[in-house]
């Protein structure tokens, strides 16, 4: 098994059409996976589009990336393996800012991709997305609860799952390629690339058809790489 699956619970790989042992008593308001996560809940461009398409701030103004990462916003920027990316900003007691007093997510219909995924991990093989169940160390803390079988596509709750997985594969490649360029260019050039990544994939508002718009930006990003490096 390759390193990306070393945290697998059952040493099995799944597709979104498969059923996997990921159900956990409807969570029963445990919400342990919504606490003390630090800066690990990364937000990708699809998460941004989902937030901006469905959330409003006071006065009815649409949410933007700059609002999300502002001092009072629910996101923050942090270094992830040498690349600057946004993540959900935990509040003072280590809880997710979207967790209500009953231990439930109050933005559940538009929750982030990593929140939808848990307790699954995601890997990539030949440009395709592969899922695996996280082991007890990284998965659900309620180890005594039976792991009930659930269809992965239904668990994720993503309507256009095929296009979503294509996006995830492309986004992974972009981030991985950027990390690998760290030792190939000088500090200023690498910083310029990181700022270009944030500008192109986060700061610039998306079209209603996210996947179409994202693919356009991928081409722009590839042009940026040719021009800078």
| pLDDT at residue number 1 | 42
Distance (Å, whole) CA 68 – CA 75: 5
- Yes or no: say if 137 and 11 are a contact pair by the CB < 8 Å rule: no
Specify the 3-state DSSP secondary structure of 9. Answer: coil
DSSP state of 18: S
Backbone dihedral region for residue 27 (phi beyond 0: left; psi -120 to 50: alpha; all else: beta): left
Distance CA 188, CA 180 (A): 16
| Distance of alpha carbon 67 from alpha carbon 221, whole angstroms | 24
Structure tokens at 36: 């003390």
pLDDT for res 185: 84
Please report, in tens digits, the pLDDT of each residue of the chain (229 residues total): 445 566 666 678 999 999 998 887 656 657 777 888 888 899 999 999 999 999 887 777 889 999 999 999 999 999 988 899 999 999 988 889 999 888 888 899 999 999 999 889 999 988 899 999 987 655 566 666 667 899 999 999 998 999 999 999 999 999 999 998 888 888 898 999 999 999 999 999 999 999 999 999 999 999 888 876 5
Cβ atoms within 10 Å, residue 225: 14
Place of tokens 């103004």: 61
So what's the pLDDT on residue 103?
83
What pLDDT score does 80 carry? 85
Provide DSSP, 34-84.
GBS-TT--B--HHHHHHHHHH-B-TTSPBP-HHHHTSTTSSEEEEEETTEE
Element (H, E) at 128: strand 128-133
Gap between the Cα atoms of 31 and 12, Å rounded = 26
Q: Is 179 helix (H, G, I), strand (E, B) or coil?
A: helix
């Amino acid at each position: 098994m390759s390193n990306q699956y070393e945290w697998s619970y059952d040493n099995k790989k799944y597709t979104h059409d498969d059923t996997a042992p990921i159900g956990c008593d409807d969570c029963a308001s445990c919400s342990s996976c919504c606490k003390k996560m630090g800066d690990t809940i990364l937000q990708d461009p699809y998460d941004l589009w989902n937030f901006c398409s469905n959330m409003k701030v006071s006065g009815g103004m649409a949410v933007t990336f700059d609002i999300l990462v502002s001092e009072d916003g629910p996101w923050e920027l942090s270094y992830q393996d040498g690349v600057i990316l946004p993540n959900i900003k935990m509040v003072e007691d280590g809880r997710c800012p979207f967790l209500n007093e009953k231990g439930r997510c109050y933005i559940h219909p538009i929750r982030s991709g990593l929140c939808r995924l848990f307790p699954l991990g995601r890997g990539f093989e030949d440009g395709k997305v592969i899922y695996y169940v996280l082991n007890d160390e990284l998965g659900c803390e309620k180890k005594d609860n039976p792991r009930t079988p659930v269809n992965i596509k239904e668990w994720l709750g993503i309507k256009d799952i095929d296009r979503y997985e294509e996006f995830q594969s492309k986004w992974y490649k972009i981030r991985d390629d950027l990390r690998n360029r760290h030792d190939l260019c000088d500090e200023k050039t690498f910083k310029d690339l990181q700022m270009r990544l944030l500008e192109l994939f986060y700061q610039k508002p998306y079209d209603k058809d996210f996947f179409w718009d994202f693919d356009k930006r991928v081409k722009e990003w590839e042009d940026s790489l040719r021009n800078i490096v």
